[in-house]
Amino acid sequence: MFSTFKCQIFLTLICIALCYEPTKEDLKCFNDYETEMKCSLSSERLQSCSGHKLNITHPVSNMFEKYTCIFERNHHSDNCECNITVEGFVATEIFNTTLLEGSNVLLYKTFMTSDFIKPKSPVLSVQKTENGNFNVTWDDQYEKHGLVAGNFFEGLRINLTYGIKGGHKNISKTVPNTVRSYEIVAKNLLPNTNYILTATMSTDYNDHSIPSDQSATVEFTTFLPITETGPPLQREPLPADRPSSMQENLVSRVLR
């Protein structure tokens, strides 16, 4: 009997060393507050995604919506990922998830909708203005369903980050989604320099705690001013964060 007990202990130790026992941190879910809920499973000890799935129950009014989310390997992130389509989200509704490997229950986890909203990534656009500045606009990627602006969209915030391409110092600006545009003043930038711009979005439904994935990068370039009497003026480059006191007429070009 004692040797059987030793055997059990030995097998348990082997399993602890080799078996996959996920923790709550390994399972992450996000919703875009439109139609999609995405979950990912990450662990160094997770050998294969196959056989792993998430049973999800979602109480709606007095009914239960049920979903099965089957994990597959994402080759970019190396995580196991799955997603489901939901018919609209409501801030305080709950998603109860059960992580299974085959029929073996590994983990239970409950999510409240507003707490795990991760907005869609914005799509940026930069246009030069008549006065030589750079007007940044963005598409928040949400369908408005006949509303010009709804409560959720009004609570979105965009965080713009721009800096010299290849440089180390960036400038960040956060503006409400509803302003729809932001102007970068050219005279505050270095002339004849390539800049890159990215952005993320967040929602006040969860106090902006989960930013979206970063947007695709947009590039724009400033040029040296061209004078009528001679070649372009050669000046000491101005640091980007020090506003210039001189009137400069920078010619700029946007590269997309």
Q: Which residues bind another protein (CB under 8 A)?
A: 8-9, 12-13, 15-16, 21-24, 60-63, 65, 87-88, 90-94, 105-112, 114-116, 145-147, 150-152, 154-155, 204-205, 207
Residue 173 and residue 201: Cα distance in Å, rounded? 12
Amino acid making up residue 148: V
In the complex, what is the shortest distance from the CB of residue 128 to another protein, in angstroms, rounded to a whole number?
A: 36
In the complex, what is the shortest distance from the CB of residue 47 to another protein, in angstroms, rounded to a whole number?
A: 18
In the complex, what is the shortest distance from the CB of residue 179 to another protein, in angstroms, rounded to a whole number?
A: 19
Nearer to another protein, 44 or 87 (CB): 87
In the complex, what is the shortest distance from the CB of residue 197 to another protein, in angstroms, rounded to a whole number?
A: 30
Nearer to another protein, 142 or 220 (CB): 142
Cross-strand pairs, 40: 28, 81
In the complex, what is the shortest distance from the CB of residue 88 to another protein, in angstroms, rounded to a whole number?
A: 5
> Helix or strand or coil: residue 115?
helix
Nearer to another protein, 107 or 224 (CB): 107
Nearer to another protein, 114 or 121 (CB): 114
The number of beta carbons lying within 10 Å of the beta carbon of residue 77 is 10
Residue 69 and residue 183: Cα distance in Å, rounded? 43
Nearer to another protein, 94 or 255 (CB): 94
What is the distance, to the nearest Å, from the Cα of residue 54 to the centroid of all Cα atoms in its chain? 23
* Contacts of 212-217 spanning 24+ positions with Cβ under 8 A: 212/118, 212/119, 212/120, 212/121, 212/122, 213/118, 213/121, 214/121, 215/121, 215/122, 215/123, 215/124, 215/138, 216/121, 216/123, 216/124
